[in-house]
Amino acid sequence: MASTASGASRLPLAWLRLLLLGWLFAVVSQTTCASNGLQPLSDGDREAVAGYFTADADGFYGSLQETYHALRALEILERSNVESQKICDSLVGLVQAPHDSVEDAFHVVRIAEVLQCPHGAEVAKVIVPSLQAAVEKAKSLLELHYSVATIAIIKGWSSKSASFNDALSGVFSSLKELAGPDGTWHYTKSSSESSAKAAGLYTFFSFPTTAIAYHVIGHIKTAAIKLFDNLESHDQGVFYFQESKDDASSGGGGALEATWAVLRGSAALAAVLPAKLKVEVEKVFGIAKFLLTPGLALSATEAFYQLDSLSVLEEYRPAVPVSVQTSSILSLSSNDNLEVAVTTVLGKPVSQVKVTLVSAHCIGADAPPVWSSQNLNYVENSGKYVFHFLSATTDLGKYKLRLEVCSVKSEGHSSYTSGGPVKSDITVISAIGISDVQIAVLDSNTGISDFSAVLEYGKDENITLSANHLQKLRLSLKLTSPSGSPFNPQQVFLKLVHESHVEHLYLVKSSAKGFQLTLDFLGLVEKLQYLSGTYNVVLIVGDMTMENSFVWTLASLDLDLPAAPEGKPLPPKAPLEITARIGPKPEIAHIFRQPEKRPPTLLSNIFLSLTLLPLIGFFIGLGYLGANIKLFPTTGLPGAAAVGFHGAVASILVLYFLFWLKLDLFTTLKVLGFLGLCTLPPGHFILSYLADSSAKQKTA
């Protein structure tokens, strides 16, 4: 589903950012909330997005286009601190100033529409003459878009709009030339790239004119449906429209702007068609997921596209995606009801759906479902669907729920989609009863208790026990769930904390009679590190389904242990600061091998020159001996061969010098082979020539 007609798919940076955020979003959504994967726009996101728009002194937000974006976005976010009066008053002045582009007129008209300015008629009167010329002159998709869209908006303000219809019908036939075979469009006749955004722009402006022939509508409709086949998809069911290279000519904007353009276009088309525009529900849902990715909008323009697309999705004719969120924890002690919130992507509650609890299973047990096929009731004042899930016999623990959200069929209303059946997990918790808590100090040999006390949970009794190494400590308690059966929590521990913060943890085991632990100090003397003194006896009980998990200091124990034997070093006491144990270790400074000492440069240079001295001596000696090169052949082939031979040998020596400086052995060997071959013929020739000539001299 990832092929588009737009040639090479280069990944814009925004898409990479999106990939990371989309993955993060998917991971987070699976671990924290019980929902259908779609989270409506959160308050944090709204605040962040509203912060992108800051007004100038004259009430505008930058250029005309930016001002329109800001006004529309703030309208969607329901912020009312906008200086509409000031802006409306300046609009007429702006339109009257001479300008060439129809784009400015387009933005002015859109601002007037958003703010519902009362000067509509005046603005229309000024613009209408230039618009007609613009429509006839327009060559590219963008120019047509601006002029036709402006006409569409001011139709209601001016009485001259009827004359536009003739111009427009001519426009449609020239537009068909810009269409591509797979539902995408080009920006101009000469451009080779097609783009989904262009398609969106095309369908967007086509509409609120009345004089459109039926065949044109049909053509546009099939093309629009084909367009949705080009949706790019990504993991976790996120769909969006990829931008194409040509989109830079219309202002770039990436996948977000392309998706916005297509949504706007298809919504406008659906509003005009007599029959419904069929788009697959998963695709609409996927687009909604894309638009609700946290951190999607990083600038004012992106915020506008995100918010405008979301507002289109709230009333999208083919299907309106809804977010379904269930409560995740139900408490038996407060008798909570199961609440399901069904909202649009911008957070408005939806009441025209039927929510059914298909099944609810207890996780871990193979028992039949606790509930099946139950309808939930809509409660007006909270905007949620409610079901009385808990009863006296409901077990504690986790439950898997399966919900279905169906649209109630009614005229004029869109159908709502939740992206398929909704699965969620809930946990039923309760307060657990603690009873029969008894702590006793027993004599090891006889088993008779020297001291025992019964404690009551909730009362702070400050009991002091004392024991020595010949005694045992026994703890017993009972835990009961609200249904009366014994409760087995995940954590039942007894902790002994010495005054020097050394801690020891013991597991309290359960049996048919409840929980019991016996600590025999004789065997534990070494584990307790021979530390005598005051210990706090702390009971820790906790479980996922327990509302009142606790850490309870039962008593303080004066423990008397024998002293540590001689020679055995006491293990170090636990450090007070947890960071000393878990924090960073000291940095290791590596010591590298010291480089060898080199002789001073002057000494090396002196010896270098000393090495050359014997060479000089050699040449002086040669002169002294009377060596000469008289026999060097000077003319003809022998001369050339001699020169060639000496030259080749010299070149080999130069090669060796280069080898020493920078070449590697392989290159050297290759070149040496070549030079050797060059040396052979002249060398052979000259030496055999010399041999022959000396042989001739001998015989002669």
Partner 1 sequence: MGSTTADARALVTALRSAYAATPIKLKIIDLYVVYALSTVLVQVVYMSLVGSFPFNAFLSGILSCIGSAVLAVCLRMQVNKENKEFKDLPPERAFADFVLCNLVLHLVIMNFLG
Binding stretches for partner 1 (CB under 8 A): 596-599, 603-604, 607, 610-611, 613-615, 617-618, 621-622, 625-627, 649, 652-653, 656, 659-660, 665, 668, 672, 683-684, 687-688, 690-691, 694
On the 0-12 / 13-18 / 19+ scale of CB atoms within 10 A, 623 is: exposed
Q: Which is nearer to partner 1, 214 or 660 (CB)?
A: 660
Tokens 């002057």 belong to 602
Residue 615 C-beta: closest distance to partner 1, Å: 7
Give the strand pairing for 353-362 and 397-407: antiparallel
Residue 591 C-beta: closest distance to partner 1, Å: 20
DSSP state of 184: -
Residue 635 C-beta: closest distance to partner 1, Å: 20
- CB-based contact 487:432 (threshold 8 Å): yes
Q: Which is nearer to partner 1, 216 or 663 (CB)?
A: 663
Residue 677 C-beta: closest distance to partner 1, Å: 13
Q: Which is nearer to partner 1, 551 or 650 (CB)?
A: 650
- CB-based contact 555:537 (threshold 8 Å): yes
Q: Which is nearer to partner 1, 575 or 617 (CB)?
A: 617
Degrees (nearest 5) of the Cα angle 134, 136, 138?
Answer: 65
Q: Which is nearer to partner 1, 320 or 686 (CB)?
A: 686
Q: Which is nearer to partner 1, 121 or 687 (CB)?
A: 687
Q: How far apart are CA 273 and CA 426, in angstroms?
A: 43
Which residue in 168, 188, 167, 192 sits closest to 178, CA to CA? 188
H or E stretch at 49 = helix 43-50
Residue 624 C-beta: closest distance to partner 1, Å: 9
The amino acid occupying position 481 is S
Residue 109, CA atoms < 13 Å, CB-side half-sphere: 26
Q: Which is nearer to partner 1, 408 or 627 (CB)?
A: 627
Q: How far apart are CA 75 and CA 669, in angstroms?
A: 79
Q: Which is nearer to partner 1, 452 or 604 (CB)?
A: 604
Q: How far apart are CA 184 and CA 197, in angstroms?
A: 8
Q: Which is nearer to partner 1, 392 or 615 (CB)?
A: 615
264 SS3 class: helix
Q: How far apart are CA 332 and CA 585, in angstroms?
A: 48
Structure tokens at 150: 């402006």
Q: Which is nearer to partner 1, 617 or 647 (CB)?
A: 617
- CB-based contact 377:386 (threshold 8 Å): yes
Residue 299 C-beta: closest distance to partner 1, Å: 59
Q: Which is nearer to partner 1, 550 or 607 (CB)?
A: 607
Q: Which residues pair with 550 in a beta bridge?
A: 541
Q: How far apart are CA 40 and CA 340, in angstroms?
A: 14
H or E stretch at 43 = helix 43-50
Residue 625 C-beta: closest distance to partner 1, Å: 5
Residue 674 C-beta: closest distance to partner 1, Å: 14
- CB-based contact 124:154 (threshold 8 Å): yes
- Return the CA Rg of the chain: 45
Residue 634 C-beta: closest distance to partner 1, Å: 19
Residue 667 C-beta: closest distance to partner 1, Å: 12
Residue 244 C-beta: closest distance to partner 1, Å: 58
Give the strand pairing for 471-480 and 491-498: unpaired
